A and B are shown apart, each in its own frame.
Chain A
Amino acid sequence: MSENILEVNNLKKYFPITKGKEKGLSVKAVDDISFSIKRGETLALVGESGSGKSTTAYNVIGMYSATAGQIIFKDEPISNNIKERPLRLRKEIQMVFQDPGTTLNPRRIVKDILSLPLKIHKLVDKKDPVGQIVRLLEEVELPMEYLFKTPLALGGGERQMLAVARALSTNPDLIVLDEPTSALDVSIQAKIINMLLRLQKDYDLSYLFITLDLSLVRNFATRVAIMYLGKIAEIAPTEIFFSDPEHPYTKMLLSAIPVISEKEEEVKHAKVTPKGEIPSPVNVPKGCSFNTRCPLAFDRCFVEDPVMKEVASDHQVRCHLVEERRQS
């Protein structure tokens, strides 16, 4: 058995445009990306809106069929056609969405929400069905009084805890977390992050963590991948990522984060003032897609798209500069 629980190889997801001026073109939401997640680790997939991070997550979870590429889960290629995906995988890969307000049916009570996955996957404890759900609630630190409440009666943080409990109910191996705390206050975020860390240890879970918050990534993830316009720009273990970022986009992202201490300012060693906005994924710039915003772009960046290069063990960067520096 390989140490990777999930491998994504050359994944592509294009959305064809069927209406309007740009008809016939397609949105290259995810364009040839590869990464892997080891058992028990957390891979953070970081990017701005439109970077394709959520599309990647939806491919893994089986909400979209991939255009090309391969997804391997526990050494078994899982079909790119979501209709052929066996029910077993829906049990082993779970997802927590960004906004718990929209992922929990407002008209159903907590007990029904939590018992649905158990019923579908025939995991109901016949002797004590209520106790089983109460135990799930306890796992996410919610009181059993909530059994008969609807999500509307819960606070934002509590709803997200409920969403985590639902994901946990089928005893999955991999949980995709799509910005699970971005809609919540920091004091609640802290609680949920700590809970997720505890659950990861208790159940040997692997996480694919989609986020924009690098401060959170620093304290939560094992490895980090930065996405820009459907491609991965840099991927590295968390320590190295923050001590030795290579890609200009990584540096720009780091510079943009509002921080609260001098110690953190030091992490932003090379201040790259952010400028411009992410271009439309329909008209991706020629050459390196970051060239419109890169302060260090030179001739080659406008002609040729760089490829992933390993700069250190486990640390890959997709940038001409890094390549040229190594050659000289």
Chain B
Amino acid sequence: MDENIVTIKDLHIGYRTFGGHVKVLNGVNLYVKPGEKVSIVGETGCGKTTTVKAILRILARQAVVTGGEIIFKGEQVLKMNKSQLQHLRGTGVSMIFQDPTSSLNPVFTIGQQMSAVIRYSGHAGATKSKIQEELAIKALQETAMPDPERILQSYPFQLSGGMRQRVSIAMALSTPREMVIADEPTTNLDVTIQDQVLRILKQRVEEKNTSLILITHSLGVARETTDRIYVMYAGNMVETAPTTELFREQYHPYTRALVDCIPRLSGGGVAEGIGGRIPNYLDPPPGCRFAPRCPKAFDRCWQEKPEYVNVGSSHQVACFLYDQSTGDE
């Protein structure tokens, strides 16, 4: 029995489209330990959102799981029935979306929406409206919201973007959860607001000892919020390492290129960028999906798909450059 909150093994997910079957996730492996804060970093279209949506089974209609398994606290998520799923979503995992304007219903007050979340959480006494209100107020106070009573009576449009996102955090953590998934929660916010929202998110999950999966395209956000980082490229986790270690040394050529592309506050110019485009998922390269853009690609990269290699304690990289079994490098 593993002690992880969630484990994903060799997950393959595709989408049915006009052109055929697009193979997005190409064998994703991931684990999150209790209380651990993990981020998935990758560029647009790499499959980070698909990965976390699979955990909650909220994938789009066209999505097809073609292989692999997701284990949440020892249970197979992909085999759950309706009531088990409801239990998972109601009490196990909660999700914070990128755009709180669309995830909050515009015709209900914040109070009504928070009560609904609490009601379905199965929390003791959660069916009483008084307890619901108390819990909602407490949750809002904990996210440093001024005047929670007034906020409960407000409609989403009456709040600013930053406030709405804090409401989403409060809502996600209003009752105890095993894990919170935050999908680019600060992408639409100003930097000073982003800083506040991330600090509150981090503080809240730490206090409650909740696990966190943070999806972001910004390595900076990942570094300042989470303990361990997954770098994702074209449907694969190419590298994972504890945050400090990852920034000390990157092994995968993609991670290295990605880190180089980030303009530094300390100056030094901007790197060239990564040539080429992400592969066409209809017909992805058979071997390593980064091979066509990789400066160090060799024959084997075009034929086989690289598996994780340990390059340090909990530092793994999916790249043949570090695969001892062949003796190259």
Whether chain A touches chain B in the assembled complex (some CB pair under 8 Å)? yes
Q: Which residues of A contact B (CB under 8 A)?
A: 48-49, 155-156, 185-191, 193-194, 197, 212-216, 218-220, 242, 252-261, 263-264, 266-268, 273-275, 277-278
Cβ-neighbour of B219 out of A49, A256, A260 (below 8 A) = A260
- Point out the residues of chain A lying under 8 angstroms from B258, CB to CB: 186-187
Are the CB atoms of A259 and B265 closer together than 8 Å?
yes
- Point out the residues of chain A lying under 8 angstroms from B325, CB to CB: none
Q: With CB as the reference atom, state the residue of chain A lying closest to B186.
A: A258
Interface-centre pick from A49, A188, A258, A267 (highest chain B CB count, 10 A)? A258
Distance between B148 CB and nearest chain A CB, rounded to angstroms = 17
- Interface segment among B59-67, B127-135, B190-198: the answer is B190-198
- Point out the residues of chain A lying under 8 angstroms from B262, CB to CB: 186, 215, 260
Are the CB atoms of B217 and A186 closer together than 8 Å?
yes
Are the CB atoms of B265 and A187 closer together than 8 Å?
no
Are the CB atoms of B267 and A256 closer together than 8 Å?
no
Interface size on B, residues (CB 8 A): 39
Are the CB atoms of A185 and B43 closer together than 8 Å?
yes
Cβ-neighbour of A218 out of B162, B190, B217, B263 (below 8 A) = B263
Interface-centre pick from A189, A263, A267, A274 (highest chain B CB count, 10 A)? A274
Knowing A185-B217, A187-B258, A188-B273 are in contact, say whether A263-B44 is a contact too (CB < 8 A).
Answer: no
B108 at the interface (CB under 8 A from A): no
User: In the complex the two chains form, what is the Cα distance from A220 to B270 in whole Å?
Assistant: 8
User: In the complex the two chains form, what is the Cα distance from A256 to B195 in whole Å?
Assistant: 5
- Point out the residues of chain A lying under 8 angstroms from B193, CB to CB: 48, 274, 277
B271 at the interface (CB under 8 A from A): yes
Are the CB atoms of A260 and B223 closer together than 8 Å?
yes
What DSSP secondary structure best describes chain A's contact surface?
Answer: helix
Can you name 6 A-B pairs with beta carbons within 8 Å?
Answer: A48-B190, A156-B44, A215-B265, A259-B224, A259-B265, A274-B196
Cβ-neighbour of A267 out of B247, B266, B277 (below 8 A) = B266
User: In the complex the two chains form, what is the Cα distance from A267 to B223 in whole Å?
Assistant: 17
User: In the complex the two chains form, what is the Cα distance from A212 to B43 in whole Å?
Assistant: 20
B249 at the interface (CB under 8 A from A): no
B30 at the interface (CB under 8 A from A): no
| Chain B 256-268 interface 0/1 with A at a Cβ cutoff of 8 Å (1 = within) | 0111011111111
B294 at the interface (CB under 8 A from A): no
Are the CB atoms of A264 and B273 closer together than 8 Å?
no
Are the CB atoms of B273 and A194 closer together than 8 Å?
yes
Are the CB atoms of B272 and A191 closer together than 8 Å?
yes
11 A-B pairs besides A215-B263, A274-B196, A277-B192 with CB distance below 8 A are A48-B193, A187-B274, A194-B270, A197-B270, A215-B262, A216-B263, A218-B266, A256-B194, A259-B224, A259-B265, A260-B247
